[in-house]
Structure 1
Amino acid sequence: MKIHQLRYFITVAEELHYSRAAEKLNISQPPLSQQIKQLEDDLGVVLFKRNKRNVQLTEAGKSFYENSKLIIHYIEHAKKEALRIQEGEIGGITLGFGGSAAFDILPEIIKACNLSIPDVKIDLKQLTTSEQLRALEEKKIDVGILVTPIKTPGIETKFFRKEELVLCLNTDHPLAKTDEPIDPKDLKSENFILPPRNEGDGYYKSIFQVYNDGGFFPNIIQTAKEQHTMVSLVAAKIGVVIVPQSTTFIKLSNITYKSFNKKFYKVSSLAWKKDNMNPVINSFLKVMEQSVLPKFN
């Protein structure tokens, strides 16, 4: 039994006329009659009562007609779903992101994906840049939003945004009371809170732009992975911290953010493993390019 035989049978069953069915199927009548006869032989049942005047379905034919329609429906559904999966319209993707991305990037991504690829499930994992690179290698995440540049073979990247760095300090700090932007040279004697060096070389190098410009090596008094933790340490007067602009979404009563007297930036990019065969990656990247990236550039 073949799928095209089911289609032929359904058409004859609905037309109850071989000539009209053949015309509708765009084939001649003899091959159509042969296919129906072969189908009956394969099934071992008579599907039609035939005489010179008309064609009628047998009781077995009526039952087989209803089931044949269901079979064709499921085949068409399976075909469409397989195509949508191949095109990345159905499925799942695991997205890695750094702490500051949660403030402004993630809401835009989720909104855009819900509109453009609503049948794709997005699983979120908050990870540092180093953790994301390991997870990409091990295919524990499909796409990462991380600090670049990176030098990892097999990892593709696409520029996301260039984000200005600012200084977070306690409101009691003397530099918090001035209206002037911060000169890096004025930070030589400060105690600094930094992310661990091994958690992201790109972010570390971004921050060191400020120290290099000020002509000093920082006195690192404390390290912390998360933006919230670093800002809380500033509130506790442990030290000061250089953070990306998006961190200013964190508001505490006794902290403030100050710009520098020149621009320093952290660069973030999308990253994915070149040999990752998840078809959702391409559809996700298209949504990012069309709907999300323009809002951050």
Structure 2
Amino acid sequence: MFMDIKHLKNFVTVVNEGVNLSKAAKKLHISQPPLSQQMKNIEDTLNVQIFERGKRNLQLTQNGEVLYKRAKKIVQLYEEMEKEMTEMGSGVKGQLNIAISTFYSSLFQNSTTFRNILQFSQKYPGVKLKIMHTDGKNLQERMENKEMDFAIINLPIEEQIFDHFKLELKNFSFIMPASWELPTSTDLIAFNDIRHYPLILLKRDTGIGLYEKVLEHCAKNNFKPKLVAESNNTNTIMSLVNAGIGATILPSTSVDKLYNFNVKVIRFTDANFFTETVLVWLKERYLSAPARAFLSILQEKNL
């Protein structure tokens, strides 16, 4: 039994285009009859029916769904093999793709990771950088589809899917309108004392993040916070704080420099209240030469 890898790639494209031969043919820049014949050849080779053919559309059979799952992996492995063979002996060239969570993007410019990326770019001028700001389900889908080499996110992560490298520890700060008073005369606040203030929290569209971490810490301290608003956008939260709607909690990375708002940035007395930023990549994925070089720079900095 022999099957052309090109036909298998085209089958994956047909399914990705909604099991639509016309759309797939346009994307592949071929006419529809040869593509239809390729799909028939796959069925003949495997001696199974992979499509239910209606008058107007196609649907995958159960055999077709199994083939699609396997074919995606085979095509990805083949493309990675081609890439690896091409890269051998050619040095560090190509493209480095990094996804940055929406939350971390607001802190990115003042981060150690940003400086590491600048160093990488200077050391490897032949590598094009693609940096995308996204979050939640979209970020994970792009990683699983191997559109991105790395993602920069905060813990926790799905450890059964991703490997990770620790980047930065960030303490949290309590941010309140400048006109509000602290419960003590010091420039510090105990976590327990936030129970007295209305809170505005950053909340991811999906997954576990700062919102859940704050609620968990409140529960450990036996109180429920006075939540008055939530948003998935840091600028919106800072605008609400500036307007006196409530206070918020964010990582301490130069919040007062990042936002031109009239607020107080107060450090917590609790040493165990922090977040950790990590670089993640898919387990068992082939990392390109640029990706390996970038990871090497980070590891050298960590020695």
* Mapped contact 1:235–1:252 kept (Cα < 8 A): no
Task: Name the SS for the 2:152 alignment partner.
Answer: strand
Aligned to 2:268: 260
Q: Which consecutive residues of structure 1, in runs of 5 or more, have no partner in the other structure?
A: 1-80
> Which of 108, 119, 133 is the equivalent residue of 1:102?
108
TM-score relative to the length of structure 1: 0.63
1:272/1:101 CA distance change after superposition, 3 Å: farther
Task: Name the SS for the 1:175 alignment partner.
Answer: coil
CA distance in 1 between counterparts of 2:185 and 2:128 reads: 48
Q: CA shift at 1:240, angstroms?
A: 0.9
Superposition RMSD in Å: 2.7
* Larger CA deviation: 200-209 vs 214-223: 200-209
Higher helix share: 1
1:176/1:287 CA distance change after superposition, 3 Å: farther
* Mapped contact 1:193–1:241 kept (Cα < 8 A): yes
Structure 2 counterpart of 1:260, one-letter code? F
> Which of 79, 88, 109 is the equivalent residue of 1:83?
88
Aligned to 2:154: 147
Aligned to 2:174: 167
Q: CA shift at 1:210, angstroms?
A: 4.1
CA distance in 2 between counterparts of 1:165 and 1:221 reads: 20
1:245/1:157 CA distance change after superposition, 3 Å: same
> Which of 204, 211, 234 is the equivalent residue of 1:227?
234
- The aligned runs of 1:1-297 (5 Å cut-off) are 82-83=87-88, 85=90, 89-97=92-100, 98-105=104-111, 106-128=113-135, 130-175=137-182, 178-208=185-215, 210-248=217-255, 249-263=257-271, 264-279=273-288, 280-291=290-301, 293=302
Q: CA shift at 1:179, angstroms?
A: 2.6
1:189/1:197 CA distance change after superposition, 3 Å: farther
Q: Deviations over 1:86-145 (max 9, x none)?
A: x5x101121111224423225303321122222111111112355433321122321011
1:250/1:261 CA distance change after superposition, 3 Å: same
Q: Deviations over 1:57-99 (max 9, x none)?
A: xxxxxxxxxxxxxxxxxxxxxxxx84355x5x10112111122
Q: CA shift at 1:176, angstroms?
A: 8.7
* Mapped contact 1:183–1:214 kept (Cα < 8 A): no
Q: CA shift at 1:286, angstroms?
A: 0.7
Aligned to 2:49: none
TM-score relative to the length of structure 2: 0.62
1:147/1:278 CA distance change after superposition, 3 Å: same
Q: Deviations over 1:196-240 (max 9, x none)?
A: 254441433433354235421223222222322221211011211
CA distance in 2 between counterparts of 1:177 and 1:256 reads: 14
1:112/1:176 CA distance change after superposition, 3 Å: farther
* Larger CA deviation: 143-152 vs 274-283: 274-283
Q: CA shift at 1:181, angstroms?
A: 1.0
CA distance in 1 between counterparts of 2:93 and 2:183 reads: 50
How many residues are aligned here?
212
Aligned to 1:78: none
Task: Name the SS for the 2:163 alignment partner.
Answer: strand
Structure 2 counterpart of 1:266, one-letter code? T
1:103/1:230 CA distance change after superposition, 3 Å: farther
Q: Which consecutive residues of structure 2, in runs of 5 or more, have no partner in the other structure?
A: 1-85
Task: Name the SS for the 2:268 alignment partner.
Answer: coil
Structure 2 counterpart of 1:149, one-letter code? P
Q: CA shift at 1:284, angstroms?
A: 1.3
1:217/1:103 CA distance change after superposition, 3 Å: farther
Question: Quick check: which has more Rg, 1 or 2?
Answer: 1
Q: CA shift at 1:277, angstroms?
A: 2.8
